[in-house]
Amino acid sequence: MRASRNAVSTCIIVTGLLVGSLTFVSTTWAKTHTIAMTAVETDIVIDGSGEKYAAWTFNGTVPGPVVRVTEGDTINFTLTNPATNKNPHAMDFHAAEIDFLKNYRAINAGETISYTFVAKKPGIFFYHCGAPPMIQHVARGMFGAIIVDPKNAKAWPKADREYVLVQSEFFKNPTDVQAMFDRKYDNMLFNGGIFKYHPFVTGGGKLDAKPGERVRIYFVNAGPNEFSSFHPIGEIWENVYESGNPSNKLTGVQTYVVGPGSAATFDVVVESAGAYPLVTHSLTGALRGAIAVLLVGPDAAPAPLMPMVPWVLSAK
Ligand SMILES: [Cu+2]
């Protein structure tokens, strides 16, 4: 899953600082991003055997594309609901602070909606469809992550590797809304796959790192209902940042709860080579799919940030 950085125009924020008799002008660039997504009702692959599921998605993947901007940036967002779809859809960005009724309303098939927001607070945020019944639109896959990098990159340690993990519940029958209300989920997913990053499972992948690297996990819990109790087996979170904001820093955390619709950033520094499963320690979820194995070794390949390979590629 690659970050979206489609800056199409820019503006300058100029700050004048008066120091003694001298005036220094520091200049930072705030960007404007044009981000367009399409509601796509389509089958997706949800496990290593190639099993398919009638999902509702943003842009055809679960989760939808990672959006990445910097604190202070402006996002011009457009959602298209193609006429070929059967259902209304919507988009709710938790990184935005704008009117819900006007901007997050559901649009019918054949319609589009556009709105603008400024990403004022740094962090990792959830985005999701809010069309009724919202519990079904989220359960069927209409969610994703937006990273808002802090304007001051020195607000926290630099990460050597970054991953995005989005946890969600999977209900085998996509039309059984009652099962969703009753919390009768069948599997727990990371990034839309059952044991997607478990190398001992057919078609399963892994996360890589080298000893001593600071690995940063941008973690979102899409729900729709269950709490995640995120824990690195064999390790301790070096730091946890609530909502991914560098100001919300915790140190030496074994397990941290991320509720549905919430997110946090987790840093782990693994000293020695080996396998370190990242799990929700709510074990009914871990044992039904929410295990991502971090394999640590000196030969770990350099990776681009967030090397999220869509499940469909590894499953053939
Ligand atoms: Cu929807």
CA 29 to centroid of ligand 1, rounded, Å: 34
State whether 266 and 191 are in the same domain.
Answer: yes
Q: How far is the CA of 21 from the centre of ligand 1 (A)?
A: 58
Residue 41: CA count within 13 A, CB half-sphere: 13
CA of 79 to the centre of ligand 1 (A): 11
Q: How far does residue 217's CA lie from ligand 1's centre (Å)?
A: 26
In a shared domain, residues 168 and 112: no
- 141/193 same-domain check: no
* CA 56 / ligand 1 centre spacing (Å): 7
Q: Same structural domain for residues 34 and 171?
A: no
In this predicted structure, which of 17-21, 81-85, 234-238, 254-258 has the lowest mean pLDDT?
17-21
CA distance 137 to 141: 7
Element (H, E) at 215: strand 214-223
Report pLDDT for 307. Answer: 59
Distance between Cα 88 and ligand 1 center (Å): 6
Do 207 and 309 share a structural domain? yes
The pairing of beta strand 111-118 with beta strand 22-45: unpaired
Average of per-residue pLDDT across 236-258 = 98
Last residue of a domain, one of 102, 126, 155: 155
Q: Note down the domain range covering 108.
A: 3-155
Model-level pTM?
Answer: 0.89
Rounded to the nearest angstrom, the distance between the alpha carbon of 98 and the centre of ligand 1 is 19
The rounded Å distance from CA 224 to ligand 1 centre is: 13
- Centre of ligand 1 to C-alpha 223, Å, is 15
Q: Cβ distance 156 to 200 under 8 Å?
A: no
Mean per-residue pLDDT, 224-245: 98
pLDDT at 154: 96
- 206 and 279 together in one domain: yes
**Among 121, 155, 189, residue at a domain's last position:** 155
Which pLDDT tens digit goes with each residue over 39-87?
999 999 888 888 899 999 999 999 999 999 999 999 999 999 999 999 9
Q: Is the Cβ–Cβ distance between 268 and 235 less than 8 Å?
A: yes
Co-location of 84 and 176 in the same domain: no
144 and 202 part of one domain = no
Ligand 1 centre to CA of 285 (Å) is: 24
Tell me: the pLDDT tens digits for 104-142?
999 999 999 999 999 999 999 999 999 999 999 999 999
216 Cα to the center of ligand 1, angstroms = 30
State the DSSP code for 153. G
149 and 217, same structural domain? no
The total number of structural domains that make up the chain: 2
- Cα of 51 from ligand 1 centre, angstroms: 22
Q: Where are the alpha helices (DSSP H) in the chain?
A: 100-103, 134-139, 177-181, 283-286, 311-315
Query: What span, in angstroms and rounded, lies between the C-alpha atoms of 227 and 292?
Result: 17
Measure 57 CA to ligand 1 centroid, in angstroms.
7
Angstrom distance (rounded) from CA 204 to CA 316: 11
- pLDDT score at 28: 58
Provide the pLDDT for residue 10.
32
Whether residues 226 and 196 fall in one domain: yes
Cα 281 to middle of ligand 1, angstroms: 29
Pair (189, 252) in one structural domain: yes
Chosen domain end from 155, 181, 200: 155
Q: What is the pLDDT of residue 308?
A: 54
Find the 72 Cα to ligand 1 centroid distance in Å. Answer: 28
Share of the chain above pLDDT 90, in %: 81
> Ligand 1 mean position to 89 CA, how many Å?
4
Looking at residue 200, its pLDDT comes to 87
Count Cβ atoms below 10 Å from residue 14 Cβ, excluding itself: 8
CATH (domain of 292): 2.60.40.420
Same domain as 117, residue 231: no
